[in-house]
Amino acid sequence: MSDKRIQNLFAAVAYHYDFLNSLLSLRRDSAWRRETVKASGVDLRSKVLDVCTGTGELALAYADKIGAEGFVIASDFCFEMLVIGDEKVERKERGTGASFLAADTLILPFLDDTFDVVSVGFGIRNVSDLEMGIREMARVAAPGGRVVILEFTQPVNPLFRSLYYFYFTKILPFIGNLISRSQDDAYGYLPRSVMKFPNCEALKAVMEQCGLTDVRFYRKTFGIVSIHVGKKPDNRLT
């Protein structure tokens, strides 16, 4: 699917996006984001970039943990999603908030070696070139910083996988498209994109190919999502 079509697809469902994420994940999405923040190792002074941020839920989860000496920037190429994120900050729903910026993950408008953590939650599979996207995330990470990926994956238990796939490919698209009134089968795209995405071991290998080290992953909720964390080498220490 082209970048433009993906952009239009998410723009069309933007105002139902958060509600459906919570509903269709059975309210597990917030816990996944909290666990991602914890796995990233942020502290009060951390500088964080969250790419493909959507409506900013992961960025705001980081902001809840970061003090005035740090900051969070949230980027996405879908303007309609960013508007909703900005509205959350204006309402001061959460923490100190985040700064929202329109940007393509394949061409991030930041200098090399800038952020302590560069993260993405449920968005990297929508980037047209996975390796280029991860390399760009690694480029703007500081030496010794972390690249963190929260993403859907495929359960390894055969019995649970069969039950989950039925829900994921049949029930979820029906409910999601019905509530969002998507004309482009947005919630049919979700399971199709996950099925094509690398599994945990393969994604780990891609991250290593992109120059990240000590890559580890953690399966959550019976293996339907995973959190991958890789470090950018600090050549200053050699």
Q: Indicate the pLDDT class of residue 236, thresholds 50, 70 and 90.
A: low
In angstroms, the Cα distances linking 57 to 39, 167, 190 are 16, 24, 18
CATH number of the domain located at residue range(s) 3-15+25-157+197-233 in this protein: 3.40.50.150
Name the band, by pLDDT with cuts 50, 70 and 90, for residue 57.
very high
Q: Which residues of 122-151 are buried (b: 16+ CB within 10 A; e: fewer)?
A: bbbbbbeebeebbbbbbbbbbeebbbbbbb
Work out the pLDDT band at 190, boundaries 50, 70, 90.
confident
Confidence of residue 183 (pLDDT cuts 50, 70, 90): confident
Confidence at 116, pLDDT banded by 50, 70, 90 = very high
Indicate the Cα dihedral angle 95, 96, 99, 105, nearest 10°. -50
Question: Across residues 28-46, what is the average pLDDT?
Answer: 96
Residue range 54-70: average pLDDT? 92
Per-residue model confidence (pLDDT) at position 92: 67
pLDDT of residue 184: 84
* pLDDT score recorded for residue 142: 98
C-beta separation of 140 from 170 below 8 A = no
pLDDT digits (tens, 9 = 90+) for 89-114: 887 655 567 999 999 999 999 999 99
* The predicted structure's pLDDT at residue 168: 92
* pLDDT at 212 > cutoff 80: yes
More confident residue, 211 or 236: 211
In the predicted structure, residue 237 carries a pLDDT above the cut 60: no
Average of pLDDT values for 41-70? 94
- Per-chain mean pLDDT for the chain: 92
What's the predicted TM-score (pTM) here? 0.93
pLDDT above 90 covers a percentage of the chain that reads: 73
SS (H, E, C) the chain: CCHHHHHHHHHHHHHHHHHHHHHHCCCCHHHHHHHHHHHHCCCCCCEEEEECCCCCHHHHHHHCCCCCCCEEEEEECCHHHHHHHHHHHHCCCCCCCCEEEECCHHHCCCCCCCEEEEEEECCHHHCCCHHHHHHHHHHHEEEEEEEEEEEECCCCCHHHHHHHHHHHHHHHHHHHHHHHCCCCCHHHHHHHHHHHCCCHHHHHHHHHHCCCEEEEEEEECCCCEEEEEEECCCHHHC
Task: Please classify residue 19 by burial: count the beta carbons closer than 10 Å to its beta carbon, then call 0-12 exposed, 13-18 middle and 19+ buried.
Answer: exposed
Average pLDDT for 182-193: 88
d(CA 120, CA 149): 5
